[in-house]
Structures are given as structure tokens and as C-alpha cells.
Amino acid sequence: MNGYTKKCLITGGAGFIGSQLARRLLLQGCEVTVIDNLFTGSKGNIYDLMQNPKFTFLIHDVTQPFWGQFDEIYNLACPASPIHYQHNPVETIKTSVLGIMNMLELALKTKARIFHTSTSEVYGDPDVHPQPEYYWGNVNTIGIRSCYDEGKRAAETICADYLRQYGVDVRMIRIFNTYGPCMHPHDGRVVSNFIVQALQNKNITIYGNGQQSRSFQYVDDLLDAIQLYMALPRAKVERFFSEKGIAVPVINVGNPGEFTIRELAEMVLALLPESKSKIINEDLPKDDPKRRRPDITLAKELLGWEPRIKLSEGLPKTIEYFRALIKGN
């Protein structure tokens, strides 16, 4: 429709990924409403958007129902780092389960297309490597990380059932380790941890022997995938997954480049030669996955997408963000 402005809702929109998604959608001419309870999000991430007449920010907890008329709903609300989700595990699983139910109810009533951010944590400590979408995972259901892992797994189940039972147009992405500007400096994630420690000349803490591996995706690549996925016609999405024999539209999005944690620490120090930090080892946390790497075959086929930004390119940009943040404080 000529002259129509698309209306988008982002839950968790004051967070690391949500704030940058909001900025993109506004630049593309959309009306954007962000809701966030600011448990891990920050108003500082969206201050520059506040004067935009097409932007609305509301403090709201997604565990409570929310009403509005939207074309697209992006459900990003949930603490995503162990420090934050283990601080309040009950609230974490409520955010995953009740949050997605409230957003799916909204999508059902308003005929909105809904996007849900799941996580590579649904695979747990995987026995299959790299991890494809059809792998069911190896997850401890009652461990200290389970509030997040199982909450996200349950959210996928709810999305699948709203699709099958009510026909809601839902798309899901399992996000693998993502980094970049606007990360919380004290969220306990490995990239932000190492950079902040190095900038402050504190010892860089490696848990275990540092040989556990991760795949690091720069945030711009993730945002590209999200927007490509949401732009696809529903019929094309349904046909693709039907032909693949996959019941629901879920895809991995991550960078298949695999690095050990020790390699990451050494890369950070190489980029900060003035740092006096040294690498030290501490005990490995319980249920910490030993290997993590996405199989992105489906994303390549469905979206024509693959990550463009190498770790060697994204790390310097992230370091500069944290350098300015720490200097400003």
C-alpha cells in the first residue's frame, strides 16, 4: 500500500541487539515501539532515538500482556548471559515462556508476523558438531543454566504450537555467540569480558584449559539475517521447510568460523598491545558447552545469507566501543 508505514514492536529493544535493530528499522522508515523492563537493557542504547517521532519507548515487562496494533513483532526480551540469567532464574524462565506467549497472543489477535530469537543454548553441550537444526540437543534440564536453556527450548515449543494450532506466522532464529557495540560491559560474555579486562589491565580469565570452542558472529551479520528472514513471503517459508521435512521455520544464524577461548584471548591482547593483562585459568563452570559451531546450510539456502564480517574485523570495532565507554565513565 502506497504511503503505508510499517509498524514494528521490539521486546527487549533497549538491549544489545534490540537497540540496533530498532535503529535499522527507523532508518528504513518504519514506526518502532520498544518495550523493555531495563533489567539488562539500557536507556543509553536508545537515547539517540528518543527524539525520532516514529519511535516510542515504554517500560514494560513482557511477562505481562501487552496490546497494540503492529505489522511485525520481534521478540528479543530475555537476559542472555549467565551472570544475569542466573541472578534471577525464575524471572528468566518466566520471561522466555510467558513473554513469548503474550507476544504470540498479540500476533494471533492482530495478524502480525512474529520473529522469535532462540539460541544455540538449545543444543546444550552438543554431541553433534557442527550443530544442525534437526539436532535435538544434550541439555541438563535441572542445572544452573537450565532457566535459560530450557526456557528457550520451551519458547520454541510454544511458537511451534501456535503455528500448528492457530496458524500464526512465526519465524525463529537460533543465535550463536554474537558480539559488537552496545554489549553490556559486565554481562559475563566472553568477548566483552576479555576486552574490558584487557582495557582495565586486569587478568584475562579463562575457564578450564581454554580449549573449549565458540563461533563468534558480529552483530551486523545477525541483523542482516533477521531482516532477510522477516521479508520473505510466508508461502516461500512454508514451502522451504516442508521440502526439508522440518516441521517449523527455525534456522541457525551464526559464524561457522571456530575459535578456542584461548585463541580469542590472545587475539584481544594482540589488538591491545599496551595492555598489561595476563591470561589466567580458573575452574570451568558447570554445564559449560565444550564445542559450539553452527551448521548454517539452511540459512544459506533460504536467505542467501552468510556472515561477511570476520572476527579479525569485528573485534577492533568492538574494542573501540568499549574503549570509549570506559573512558567516558
Q: Which three cell numbers stand for residue 228?
A: 532477510
- pLDDT recorded at residue 118: 97
Active-site entry in 74, 85, 148, 179? 148
The position carrying cell 587475539 is 267
**Angle of CA points 52, 76, 197, to nearest 5°:** 90
CA gap 259, 63 in Å, rounded: 36
- pLDDT recorded at residue 129: 93
Measure the N-to-C terminal CA separation of the chain; round to a whole number of Å.
47
DSSP state at residue 232: S
CA gap 293, 196 in Å, rounded: 25
CB within 8 Å of 3: residues ≥ 6 apart: none
- pLDDT recorded at residue 151: 94
The alpha carbon dihedral of 133, 174, 237, 225 has a sign of negative
Question: What is the rounded radius of gyration, in angstroms, for the C-alpha atoms of the chain?
Answer: 19
The position carrying cell 520473505 is 232
- pLDDT recorded at residue 81: 67
Let me know if 207 is a catalytic residue: no
CA gap 231, 215 in Å, rounded: 26
The predicted model scores a pTM of 0.94
CA gap 300, 306 in Å, rounded: 6
**Average pLDDT, consecutive stretches of 10 residues, N- to C-terminus, the chain (329 residues):** 87 96 98 95 94 98 97 93 78 95 98 97 93 93 91 97 98 96 86 95 90 94 98 98 94 96 96 95 77 95 97 97 84
- pLDDT recorded at residue 324: 92
- pLDDT recorded at residue 287: 64
- pLDDT recorded at residue 71: 98
